[in-house]
Amino acid sequence: MSNKNVVIMEDIKHRFVWNTIIEVLSHIKMDGIKSDFKYQIQHPVIHEDIQLDIFMYRHIDFLKWNIVQQKLKDQVKNGCYLCEYNFLTHGLSKENKYIDCINCPSKIITTNTGCMGGSFPIIWNVYFSSVASMSNKEFTTILDHCKKIRDTEFKENVLLRSNVEGENNYD
């Protein structure tokens, strides 16, 4: 994430994680899936196939952590590339417990309703077992909040991985 004291926001991986979550949710809803299944994705950097085991008793936040830590093999704060960038650039709060969301690289302001303008608290605990039976309105709301997180705009001073020059911008 950082090279020679320059911190780079892993926007490619951030988008990959949320694209995958959106794809899994859509697959469950469209196909009416009610039992555990395997879902294949491709690593965004090395382009190898990755198999996800989707357990219906799990939720969106669990899948986010699983993709980041188990599949991408990244140890980042809160299983979130936004939080990791914030931590690397600003550290922890005075209490040394929490990352101060005021310094999030996203332009979306974290409010008293929670992370990402309230989007993350709305979706983080959605269980896969409930997706197939959700009304279309409920499902669309969940997807819209996932897309809001995925498509976040970054503050101007944030160096994005996608803007780093070079043949392999992960060196």
How far is residue 1's CA from residue 161's CA, in Å, rounded to a whole number?
A: 9
Strand partners, 53: 38
How far is residue 78's CA from residue 92's CA, in Å, rounded to a whole number?
A: 13
Stated pTM of the model: 0.90
What is the model's pLDDT at position 5? Answer: 73
What is the model's pLDDT at position 94? Answer: 56
Q: pLDDT confidence of 117, banded at 50, 70, 90?
A: confident
> Is 169 or 128 the better-scoring residue by pLDDT?
128
What is the model's pLDDT at position 171? Answer: 42
How far is residue 170's CA from residue 126's CA, in Å, rounded to a whole number?
A: 32
Residue 73 is given by DSSP the state -
Strand partners, 2: 7
When the pLDDT of each residue in the chain is averaged and rounded to a whole number, the result is 88
What is the model's pLDDT at position 87? Answer: 86
Beta strands 2-3 and 6-7, pairing class: antiparallel
Strand partners, 51: 40
What is the model's pLDDT at position 118? Answer: 85
How far is residue 67's CA from residue 51's CA, in Å, rounded to a whole number?
A: 10
What is the model's pLDDT at position 96? Answer: 57
Reported as a single tens digit per residue, the pLDDT across 14-69 is: 999 999 999 999 999 999 999 999 999 999 989 999 999 999 999 999 999 999 99
